[in-house]
């Protein structure tokens, strides 16, 4: 019997795609705590972080025959957690936005909320920081995050290798994470769901 602890992530993914409970168990043991800490840091709530990670692993098991891990298993799992957190933030934002808007409307007869002003200011700050990226990096980043092109499509568009595209997107995210500081996670939400 194979020692699943010694297998590399890619081998575990292959076994998982073939329905291996043992491979799933090893992935769970290997990544649960790491994903939980990441989610906990972003959500600042133990139960929400636990729920997010459990949901990601539930979906991983339910969709094992069709999962596509393009870069690495860790990247796939971290992206899945990030997307779940974005959904939570959006749901909370909608609830909070509605409550704030209603309260302000009742108090002042206006639908303009302080949150909308903050969102607008934050959107402007994000666009300013993206505009400050080096030209080639900015173009690649915008094709990736705003036009949602694949790395391959971007590589063909700007006539560079896929590796260069990946590196440029990684470097752009690194710069923006530094520039936007603690608001970086909110930045990701605005990139995928821009303020209109």
Do the Cβ atoms of 155 and 164 come closer than 8 Å? yes
Give this prediction's pTM: 0.47
Domains of the chain and CATH, by start: 4-83 (1.10.1740.10), 114-192 (1.10.10.10)
Q: What is the DSSP letter of 65?
A: G
Q: Give the least confident one: 67-76, 77-86, 88-97.
A: 88-97
Do the Cβ atoms of 127 and 145 come closer than 8 Å? no
34 vs 37: CA distance, rounded Å: 5
Residue with tokens 């605005």: 190
Task: Read off the pLDDT of residues 128-146 as tens digits, 9 standing for 90 and up.
Answer: 888 888 889 989 988 887 7
Task: Read off the pLDDT of residues 145-169 as tens digits, 9 standing for 90 and up.
Answer: 777 888 899 999 899 999 999 999 8
194 vs 105: CA distance, rounded Å: 25
- Please tell me the number of Cα atoms within 13 Å of 84 on its side-chain side: 26
Which has more confidence, 20 or 178? 20
């Amino acid at each position: 019997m194979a020692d699943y602890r010694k297998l590399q992530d890619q081998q575990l993914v292959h076994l998982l795609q073939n329905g291996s409970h043992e491979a799933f168990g090893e992935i769970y043991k290997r990544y649960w705590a790491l994903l939980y800490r990441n989610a906990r840091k972003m959500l600042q709530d133990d139960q929400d972080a636990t729920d997010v990670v459990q949901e990601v692993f539930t979906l991983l098991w339910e969709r094992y025959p069709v999962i596509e891990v393009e870069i690495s298993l860790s990247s796939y799992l971290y992206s899945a957690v990030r997307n779940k957190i974005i959904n939570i933030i959006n749901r909370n934002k909608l609830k909070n936005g509605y409550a704030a808007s209603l309260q302000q409307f009742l108090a002042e007869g206006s639908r303009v909320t302080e949150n909308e002003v903050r969102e607008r200011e934050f959107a402007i700050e994000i666009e300013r920081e993206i505009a400050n990226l080096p030209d080639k990096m900015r173009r690649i980043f915008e094709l990736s995050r705003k036009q949602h092109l694949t790395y391959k499509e971007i590589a063909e568009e700007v006539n560079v290798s896929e590796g260069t595209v990946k590196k440029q997107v990684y470097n752009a995210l690194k710069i923006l994470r530094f520039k936007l500081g603690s608001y970086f996670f909110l930045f990701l939400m605005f990139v995928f769901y821009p303020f209109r």
